């Protein structure tokens, strides 16, 4: 048979603190009801109310210590569970971020490689165009030089040294005078008389030579 007592009376009968009574009610270890804003606890009739003693006080302190210890342990367990959940969440976020960075890096590398390939292709194309253009220009320049040389050879005519002597003799010039004329004209740089040092030959351009006769 159980009787209904106040929470303070229950603490005295059970040798617990009021906090210990509330803790056991919360844990379902004691049956209770609430009336008019007050908490009442069902206690077995076999438990008699006895005046507090030193032994009772010591027991109460021990129970309070155990209650505090249980609270600390429960709080520690809650903190550990919270930390475990936090670590699990952070690991998940870390893996997700690593995967995202890997994908981003792969995409960037692919873009860079595409740009490098494009630049290589453009460079090779420009080099081929330059080679063709350079080759065409070289061909044109070579043809132009050949044309100029041909034109020059056609327009400029030379005469042999023997012919020059015959020509000057017709104007009553002696061989000594003719040699003197040639030497003087080479010295003053007359373009009609060119002396080749390598072959030691004298080239004479055809002219009327009226200034010499």
Whether residue 120 lies inside any domain: the answer is no
Whether residue 167 lies inside any domain: the answer is yes
pLDDT band at 81 (very low <50, low <70, confident <90, very high): confident
pLDDT of residue 129: 87
- 194's enclosing H/E stretch is strand 193-196
Rounded mean pLDDT of 9-18?
A: 89
149-200 pLDDT tens trace: 555 445 568 889 999 999 999 999 999 999 999 999 999 999 999 988 888 8
Whether residue 141 lies inside any domain: the answer is no
Give how far Cα 15 sits from Cα of 40, 52, 83, 113, Å.
Answer: 16, 8, 37, 81
Whether residue 63 lies inside any domain: the answer is no
CATH of the domain at 26: 1.10.1660.10
Parent domain of 41: 2-50
Rounded mean pLDDT of 106-129?
A: 86
pLDDT of residue 190: 92
3-class secondary-structure state, position 42: strand
Q: How many domains does the chain have?
A: 2
Whether residue 62 lies inside any domain: the answer is no
Residue 50, pLDDT above cutoff 70: no
Whether residue 59 lies inside any domain: the answer is no
């Amino acid at each position: 048979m159980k009787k209904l007592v106040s929470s303070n009376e229950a603490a005295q009968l059970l040798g617990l603190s009021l906090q210990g009574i509330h803790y056991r009610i919360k844990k379902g270890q004691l049956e209770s009801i609430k009336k008019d804003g007050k908490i009442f606890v069902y206690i077995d009739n076999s438990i008699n109310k006895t005046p507090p003693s030193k032994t009772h006080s010591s027991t109460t302190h021990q129970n309070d210590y155990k209650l505090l210890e249980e609270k600390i342990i429960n709080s520690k367990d809650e903190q550990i569970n919270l930390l475990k959940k936090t670590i699990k969440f952070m690991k998940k976020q870390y893996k997700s971020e690593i995967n995202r960075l890997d994908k981003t890096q792969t995409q960037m590398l692919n873009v860079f490689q595409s740009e490098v390939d494009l630049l290589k292709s453009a460079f090779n194309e420009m080099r081929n165009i330059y080679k063709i253009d350079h080759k065409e220009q070289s061909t044109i320049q070579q043809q132009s030089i050949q044309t100029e040389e041909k034109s020059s050879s056609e327009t400029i005519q030379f005469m042999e040294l023997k012919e020059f002597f015959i020509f000057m003799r017709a104007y009553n010039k002696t061989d000594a005078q003719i040699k003197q004329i040639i030497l003087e004209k080479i010295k003053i740089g007359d373009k009609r008389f060119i002396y080749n040092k390598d072959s030691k030959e004298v080239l004479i351009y055809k002219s009327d030579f009226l200034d010499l006769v």
